[in-house]
Structure formats: structure tokens, C-alpha cells
Amino acid sequence: MTLIDAMFINKGGGAVLLDYLIEHILAHTQSKEFYFLLDPRYKIPTGLGQEAYTIIPNKIKERIKYYKQNRGRFSKVFCFANTPPPINLKIPSYTYMHNQKILEAPKQKLNRKYWSMYAKYLFVKMYNKNTNYYIVQTKHMVDELVGIGLKDDQHCLTIPFYDDCKYQGGGKPFAQRGRDEFVFISNPSPQKNYPTLLDTWEYLLDKGITPKLHVTVDDTGPSFLERIKALNARGARIENHVYVDPHSLYFNCPYLIFPSIMESFGLPLIEAVDSGMKVIASDLTYVHDVITPSLTFQPYDKKSMADAVIKAMNTELPFPKVVTHNEIVKLVELIAP
């Protein structure tokens, strides 16, 4: 039996991928071959029976205790939340690394904003010897892992997986979507680059250009909420949905704008392509690892981003293309007992 350790996964992109992994296992494999260790904050899918999982407090000591008590129960372990097993189980062990900020932290350890991530990196490094392989979604994540010395490239496996049917083929034809609406669905984390995005919309406003911008900023970004309010008072068209099912926007709006400066995968890029949108995005490796965008810009340069917005509204951009593939079958075959 394989243990899938999803401790510390409770929301966001990690939870979306965990949902998809569980869905696939239940639908396509002998689910009795897998057992899940889950975070109490995670919303458990209805199809996962109580006999298939254990919930423990999301505390390090509780995780160590569970592993010690169950060290002879499993033949493989797949850790789903960046952190290798806390003890050496002497069985094949895989760790899914999906947080690039952890891998950036050693280079940014003098930057106060990265102190918490540096502490997480030290935690990962402490248990690094307990995992045989790291599994990542893209080549640039392999480069990050090798660059900080956690593993060599032979022990880093690139196996992208995502729900490739969720958005495919949906939405209005592009010609019916208008020309001046842009979507960025993301929380206000620092790597998402909201300051430059809002600088861009102010720059456009000063030029008398007012495209519509759809965002999802919650109360964890109070300064952004105030800035959006002030820009709208001046005539900008920024609609903050706080939270919204992406389908309605992806299926009806013409453009995804993606200013993020750091992503381990960038799933919204793929979702936008599948939804029939055109994509203007940061000219960074993580973007080119997953799609060929319609147009790129320099993510810290408001003029570069504004020029891309103006070009999108006034010229016929090419449709983007997905250049990665869903390998969920390969992943499950790898971690199966």
C-alpha cells in the first residue's frame, strides 16, 4: 500500500491538484492500494471513504508520531506538500515539490520577506535524505532543485499533471468576446505582482485608456483593495470579484493577463488556453514551460505591460498553445505499490 501524505495541503492550487489526484485514483485504479494522510482543514471529497484516510493535527510532532507508528505498514510513500518524510522508512519515497518560493529562499535569505520561506527550506533540507526523488511539474523547477543542491537531475522527475478536461472547448467564440476585458484570477501574494499590475492600469488611465480588469483580491491584500477603490474613483474599470468560479470569466472574456513573477507551474495559463482566451504574460521561463503565449511583457515594467495591453486591444494576436501535457496516469503508475 502507498501512503499519500497530504499534510499541510488545505486550499489553493495544492488542494485543487490533490482533489484531481484523488478523483483519478478513485476512478481509474484500485483505490485500496492507496491511503491518505490529510490535513484537518482540507475538504475531503465525498467519494473518499473513511477507511481510506487518517486526519491528524497539522503539527510536525504529530506527523513524526504517525510515521513512527506506521513505519511497517506501507511499501511506498508520496509526500504531496513539499516536505519529505520526517523519518527514513527504507522504502521508495517521492516528494512533490510545488512551491518555488521555498527553492528561491536560499538566494533571498537576507530579505526579510523570505525569512519564513527560508525556515521552510531549512525544514525541507533537514529531511532531504529521506526522499529518493522529487517530482515537479516543469523543467525550470528541476533547475531550481539542482541549483540549490537538494538533488541531482537524475533524482528530479518532471511529471506535470492537471485536469485537462475542466475547461477544454468551453466558452464563446473569441470574436464574440469584445476586445477590452482582461482577467487575472489570483490571491494577492507578493509573487503575483499586483503592484505592477495596478501601476499599469493607472498608467493607462493617465493616458485616457480604460480597459476592464477582473481581479480576485481578498482581505489579505488591504492596500490593493484601497488602491483599486481609488483608481475606480478616478474612472478606472477594475472589478474585484474577491472570489469567483473562473469558468464564467474564462469562457466570456478575451484575454488573460498574467503578471506573476514566480510560479511552479502556472495552471491558469493552461486553463485560459483551453477556454479559448488569448494570453499576455510575463516573459519568464515558467510561462514558456507550459504555453506559447500570445504576447509577453517585462513583469516589473508598467510601460511594457501597458504596451502589451494596448497591442492586444488593437491588433489580432495569435492564439496561445499549450506545450505541456497531463501525465496523471504516469504519476499514479509510479507511486502505486
Which amino acid is present at 41?
Answer: R
Which amino acid is present at 200?
Answer: T
Report whether pLDDT(117) > 90. Answer: no
> CATH 3.40.50.2000 in the chain, residues?
2-164+326-335, 174-322
pTM, two decimal places: 0.87
Q: Could you tell me where the DSSP H helices lie in 127-218?
A: 139-147, 194-206
List the grid coordinates of 256.
Answer: 488573460
- Residues of the chain by 3-state class (helix, strand, coil), percent to 5: 40, 15, 40
What is the structure's pLDDT at 104? 85
Pick the CATH number of 2-164+326-335 from 3.40.30.10, 3.40.50.300, 3.40.50.2000, 3.40.1390.30: 3.40.50.2000
What is the structure's pLDDT at 316? 96
CB 265 within 8 A of CB 284: no
Q: Which residues contact 202 (CB under 8 A, 6 or more apart)?
A: 231, 236, 302
Report whether pLDDT(27) > 80. Answer: yes
Dump the DSSP string for 74-111: -SEEEE-SS---SS--SS-EEEE---HHHHHGGGGTTS
Q: Which residues contact 126 (CB under 8 A, 6 or more apart)?
A: none
How much is the mean pLDDT over the chain?
93
Top-confidence residue, 169 or 61 = 61
Report whether pLDDT(92) > 80. Answer: yes
- Find, among 19, 59, 13, the residue nearest to 39 by Cα: 59
CA distances to 20, 47, 64, 76, 120 from 51, rounded to whole Å, are 19, 11, 21, 18, 31
pLDDT in tens, 143-174: 999 999 999 999 999 999 999 988 887 789 99
List the grid coordinates of 264.
Answer: 511552479
Measured in Å, how far apart are the chain's first and last C-alpha atoms? 5
What is the structure's pLDDT at 23? 93
* 174-322 belongs to CATH 3.90.76.10: no
CB 262 within 8 A of CB 100: yes
Q: Could you tell me where the DSSP H helices lie in the chain?
A: 12-28, 60-69, 100-104, 115-126, 139-147, 194-206, 222-233, 246-250, 267-274, 285-290, 302-314, 328-335
CA distances to 183, 191, 249 from 243, rounded to whole Å, are 13, 19, 12
What is the structure's pLDDT at 62? 95
pLDDT in tens, 237-281: 999 999 888 999 999 999 999 999 999 899 999 999 999 999 999
